[in-house]
Structure 1
């Protein structure tokens, strides 16, 4: 069944009582939600370019309306369920009438998802927003709860993110990624050390996590929302973590904890999906291998690789049964896969001779990685474990590196030098479309990691 949705932002009457400023979170509230038989391998649902309008006489809301329309369009492109098309019906717009709405016209214009909107001013500099959806083929309304808000104009985009999340959950059965967290290393300016920072996807705010004053790099998510990284605050590269019930050493009263401080290089931690184990890269006597540690105490459990080659960059399968890693034992960097106990180590049949930075998709079907050829820059690729085929997601005369999947598996965050040579954070859909930069603030960004759900 083709699905046509209409999202319209309309105002209600003014209220005399004080209005709450807490931002509500829309949610699927229709019995059909989760029963649309959506599959990620199906064609994307076409959505019209947002038709948000300003009903004021003097165009008082035009800036808010433009920002809202742009946010909705970008969110749909990144949702992994929709794609934006430009078709429109030829007749007049009748947004305010359920009976007169041109369902057939939008359907014939090629848009299965029609985005419309209206924003009105409210008292105290606030705006009043109300959202709903219509299924065009069925000429029916799709209920999304919590879809009315009075808020500051700068929070309209965040409300739109949450509404798109609810729409995505209704159609696909899995919530969207907006509001989930991304952690990364960031250098705020020339001569400044890298520190660990975090943001919520869809937000313009960034929160500093580490305050080492020296290099902090390679962040990763741990159980309970904890964040781990490799830091040089002791003078040696050790592993630190913001929360660790079983760790013995705490750097200071407010953390972080020392997760691993073995002789040599401790880096590149990746926690198993249930948080029981942690795979790390440990360099001893000049040899780099993947080791398994207790995820709660940091104590050694097993050495998983033991070759004279460089073995590093572990990433877990979502079922915790396998680990992908990088090894140059073939004479060049290549992505390998092994069982979680170290058995059955074998390379993936990837094209090219320089493949690194693997990240396993949350649904377990793909591994994203970065690759380059002789004299060419890095680009992002994905290997389909079901079909055994690799596909290129990005290309250009710049460096695209360090991919990390969103928790819903519909988007990928990565770094790129495509704007003036500096490394910035970008997000794209699973197919490689809808590429969007996250921040333009003079900083340089490295090794992003999108949060995952840890299952106990």
Structure 2
């Protein structure tokens, strides 16, 4: 019996030793092969990105960022969303082009391993489309490609859409929709329109002006609360919604700081909005450093950040001998200098509409009209240093508004309204890179680009 036990023990030990050797061999082979490459989240992205690599596990991997690059060579910034590495281009990618996302060998991987081989993924940049409200008086949100294919509705609210904000990636649109209690809720709708989610149930209060942070982690919006005693609407205030947790909170504890039309700085470090109580554009650092910057203005609207975030072009009222005049101003946010925009030529009797900085920072787009001419506003391009200005439109029977640059800056979308029409039926138009004009939609308003 004892001999049999010894024989059995030797057999067990032999088997265990074999298993250990096999396991060691597997580990050695795995070590030699290196970490498994991540998966590409999507083979098609918008001009602003992000390109995404999905890693196994649920945590970020420190140091991977240094091994990532794009071809053709493109400056990028990276961030982690859980175990997904997001690669955001610093400048818009060229629509219709292919890019190669490269992860160099030696990049950190899960379980302390490193990649032994280079990873390469081909990514195509989809053409930008246009989103807008239609019909103009009782709208839903619509999406249209510029290839002549039929437009598609993204919401089916029965004409209750108030306004909207497009996410930088173009995957989502935040939409303000009137509810059954006379308030306005915030929703998130996918670019295809097939997926929607209630973000903020605002009840009898109005949540409007949704604006995505550049990293898509937060949504700023204006909330007009209703008094619990009088039932009357109070001051609009800026709130921030954390999209991961679903938690929302006022930007300021002080209820006397009002706010609407929030606009993020390009780097996401500051937020600008109009404070009606202060009578100024208020800029706040979200990192908590420094005092708020106030730009006095009587226009009730925020201006446009320069792409580098160092300047803001905005409007204010100027008293002249002829009449009050809406004038273009420039604020240098580094020096604190504020001055009328340095325009070459005589614009003393010219009234300006909202400026929009081009993505490359070389131009401003604005609506202009002369006080001694027709009342319609025409689209003009103005050099960022004021050295040149030229008209893009000259049909004075039409007035132009709600204009936006495409992500790369080669095209413009805008709203056009006939001044002689008996009914309010604006149209959405695009001025393409070759200078040709394309009508996108009739009875439509407030267009924007969907990357």
Tell me the TM-score normalised to structure 2 length.
0.50
Q: Which has the higher contact order (CA 8 A, sep 6+)?
A: 1
Higher alpha-carbon Rg: 2
Q: Which has the higher strand share?
A: 2
Tell me the TM-score normalised to structure 1 length.
0.49
